Amino acid sequence: MVLNALTRYSFYNDRAEAELIIRELKEAYALGKIPTRHWQANVAYFHLVGFAYNLLNWFKRFCLPDSYSRRSLQTIRRDLLAIPGELVRPQGIPTIRLPASYPHRDLFVKILTHIRRLKLPNPLTR
């Protein structure tokens, strides 16, 4: 069977994307470091890593602006997750106080506002 150029391109493009995902899982999510010699524990570890990967991708898709759709875990961690902050409770309302020098403050507030506006499906109405 002779494959045309578009079919070949599509096949290899999909494969290249899968390889990028595997590399990200190995490097950013430590999938290359199997923690134990016990099969069941390693299976559980693999599933947890996969869940973390999928959770971050859903977070990028539904909560972050389009400019962060292709960003790596390291970039999201550096810009949005691993920031010093203080949880304070003025008038009993839990509030995150960010440092004045935090360069992504406006983006962080925009993301939190967007998350508050998300309408989650009610599983009881299905």
Q: What is the pLDDT along the chain (126 residues), one digit of tens a residue?
A: 556 777 777 777 666 677 788 888 888 888 888 888 999 999 999 899 999 999 999 999 999 999 888 888 889 999 998 888 899 999 999 988 989 899 999 999 899 999 989 887 777 766
Domain-embedded: residue 33: yes
Residue 103: phi, psi to the nearest 5? Answer: -75, -15
Domain-embedded: residue 71: no
Cα–Cα distance for residue pair 120/8, rounded to 1 Å: 40
Q: How far is CA 34 from the centre of its chain?
A: 21
Domain-embedded: residue 118: no
Cα–Cα distance for residue pair 87/109, rounded to 1 Å: 15
Domain that holds residue 13: 1-66
Q: What are the E-state strand segments in 1-126?
A: 86-88, 95-97
- Split into its structural domains, the chain has a count of 1
Cα–Cα distance for residue pair 28/50, rounded to 1 Å: 12
Domain-embedded: residue 57: yes
Domain-embedded: residue 39: yes
The pTM assigned to this predicted structure is: 0.71
Domain-embedded: residue 73: no
